Structure 1
Amino acid sequence: MAPPNIRPLPEHLQEVAIKELNERPERLAEDLEALKDWAIKQPHLNVRLDDQLLVAFLRGCKFSLEKAKSKLDWYYTLKTKYPDYYTLQDPDVPHIQDLVKYGVGLALPIPLNETGPRIVFSRFGIYPIDKYKLKDLLATAFANFELEIRLDDTAVVNGFLNLIDVGKVNAAHFAQFTPHLLKKMVAFLANAAPIRLNATHFINVPASFEKLYNMIKPTLTEKQRNRIFLHGNNLETIYALIPQKYLPKDFGGENGCIDELEKSTFQLFLDHRDYFKEDVKYRNNEELRVGQQPDYESLFGMEGSFRKIDVD
């Protein structure tokens, strides 16, 4: 059996992968082959049989083959069913650079405490609502997420945490936070994403945002609620959880400048333009699925309350 075509992990990440993710380097090729064989045999699936991508699913599922199968299926199911939300088909389209400038899903260069989870910074509320919708920004965020899966071993092994500035969110922006949209965000993180979300920190939180969160809170699992933190304009409350040096320079830290991160992120999209353009070939054919289709109506329907989704 040929060795896997993946990057070797740095020693500190390999240690975490073995101790916390149940990785066994000596059988990595065998585990990858098992996941590939399963994917090939599913008549509805057409996934990238890329070792670096697939090992992220195994690591993100702590090498449970059954969980990795489920997440891989959901990953391509969501990309097929809702391409406007979960895919970026062409980074050369002029407005993509515009969207990246609104600061969604920017990976900060230094992990938490140097060797911990990746910190991902986002800003909601600075985009012109007469020109863009929140779902437009999410497409770039999910595209960035896919590159993280393939390129960032720190995020794959140690997970990531969200740092989200909502200080400029106004009533018009709030109107775009529909249950329909929020369900798509939660469903992706819970059912499809192979990278572990350690925590989400909202900063510069206005009272109106707290009201929105309190409406959503009952629909979340206890584990999800325990990973969400709201901070006001005084950032002192966050320093116990994220020391100041790990915040962007724009917030008094030492962890990258937002303007520079926006430029480097857009350049990363351009550098992978062929990957994104090719990616549209990898989509499900649900007519060939054996067994029950996912219940999109109950999961994403506008009526009723959120369906609770368990997240590992």
Structure 2
Amino acid sequence: MSNGYVCTLSPACLERAKAELCEDPNTRKQEINAFRERLLRLPGLNCRTDSLFLLRFLRAKKFDQERSFTLIINYYKRKLEKPDLYATLLPSSIQHVLENDFIVKLDGKDKEGSPVLFYRPGLWDPDKYPAWDILKTSMIIMSKLLEEEDVQVTGVRFLTDLKDFHWQHVKNMPLDYLKFQLSWFQDSMPLRYKGFHNLHEHAVFYHLFTLMKHLMSEKLKSRIFLHGSKVEELLEFIDKDVLPEEYGGTGPPLSGKAYTKVLLESEQDFKEEMRYGFVDMTMHKDNKSKQSEDAMENLSGTYRKLDID
């Protein structure tokens, strides 16, 4: 079952996928089918099985079947941990964040061909919406970006301007939010992170960074760049015509209007996504069939075997 998949990678990205991700066009279909069949055998998981979706995970882990399997299990396990969050994971639910230009997708790409997301946390007013809405916005934008096969290969670069980010913001970031956000980024999202570039960082940022740093993998920490006020350092990674003028470039002003429209038009796709995930672990309390009880017992055994945090 190939779901009619046709590779849409650009020639340049296909060569990168071969060199960097161990992707072999001659065996790609077999890799996808093996991955799909393993997921279909897992009791209690209703998983998307179309090829383009599965390739997100295979490419993120360089076609290592075991690591890809663990990643997709983590991806769906997060839905069990925060069902209320995922129940409203729709573009319409975060329109207020998008229209605030808190997170903006730049029009161009970086020098490696990666999309660039620009964050300005100082624009957040905690009295108007909670920190969880910010995370939902990131989740929706990244999920949408991953629909493009080239992005599965190039990954995404992040810029954050910490100007006007103060204690009032940190105080409104609950510890469970910070931990869940990190686990989602680090262990659950099938995305290649090309770099996290921070500007105008100060004491508040360093306090938060120190708090979270010990939970980060060495790989993630190696992707973090601290530029201070030296916006010109961004030019090493991003061409001048992509960056806005206030950040050393000649590109257009920051505006998320166009991409907000793209996301809002994808509402139905995100509603469809809600169908997938692990079954509700409580449903079997009312279902006394032996088949269901055995399935849940097998699922628990699978978790123990995987030793997923």
TM-score interval, normalised by the smaller of the two chains = 0.7 to 0.9
* Number of equivalenced pairs: 290
Deviations 1:178-212 (A, max 9, x none): 43222212211221111111221111223322232
How far does the alpha carbon of each residue in 1:137-168 deviate from its partner, in whole angstroms, 9 at most, with x for none?
110110111111112x3321022221111212
1:1-312 matches, cutoff 5 A: 2=2, 4-85=4-85, 88-93=88-93, 96-113=94-111, 115-151=112-148, 153-259=149-255, 262-285=256-279, 287=281, 288=296, 289-291=299-301, 293=303
In 1, Cα distance between equivalents of 2:103 and 2:267: 18
**Aligned mates of 2:69, 2:40 — CA distance in 1:** 11
Change (3 A) 1:90 1:8: closer
TM-score (norm 2): 0.84
Judging changes above 3 Å, is the alpha-carbon distance between structure 1 residues 50 and 213 closer, same or farther for their aligned structure 2 residues?
A: same
Q: Check the 8 A contact 1:58/1:65 in 2, yes or no.
A: yes
Q: Structure 2: any 5+ residue segments left out of the alignment?
A: 282-295
Q: Work out the CA distance in 1 between the residues paired with 2:211 and 2:120.
A: 21
Match of 2:292? none
Contact 2:86 2:274 (C-alpha < 8 Å) held by counterparts: no
Identity of aligned residues (%): 26
Residues 129 and 40 of structure 1, relative CA distance in 2, 3 Å threshold: same
Q: Work out the CA distance in 1 between the residues paired with 2:119 and 2:84.
A: 19
Rate the CA distance shift 1:255–1:76 in 2: closer, same or farther, 3 A.
farther
Tell which structure's C-alpha radius of gyration is larger.
Answer: 2
Who is 2:285 aligned against?
none
Secondary structure of the 2:119 match is strand
- How far apart, in 1, do the equivalents of 2:36 and 2:103 lie? 29
Separation in 1, partners of 2:203, 2:167: 12
Q: Distance between the aligned counterparts of 1:199 and 1:54, measured in 2?
A: 24
Kept in 2: contact 1:86–1:142 (CA 8 A) = no
SS of 1:195's equivalent in the other structure is: coil
CA RMSD of superposed structures (Å): 2.5
Equivalent position amino acid for 1:223 in 2? K
The 1:2–1:132 alpha-carbon spacing in structure 2 relative to 1, beyond 3 Å, is: closer
- Structure 1 residue 218, shift from structure 2 partner: 3.6
Moved more, 30-39 or 227-236: 227-236
Q: 1:171 Cα deviation (Å)?
A: 1.4
Q: What SS does the corresponding residue of 1:291 show, helix, strand or coil?
A: helix
CA contact (8 A) 2:110 2:237 kept: no
Please list every run of 5 or more consecutive structure 1 residues that lacks an aligned counterpart in the other structure: 300-312
What CA distance in whole angstroms lies between the structure 2 residues aligned with 1:201 and 1:229? Answer: 5
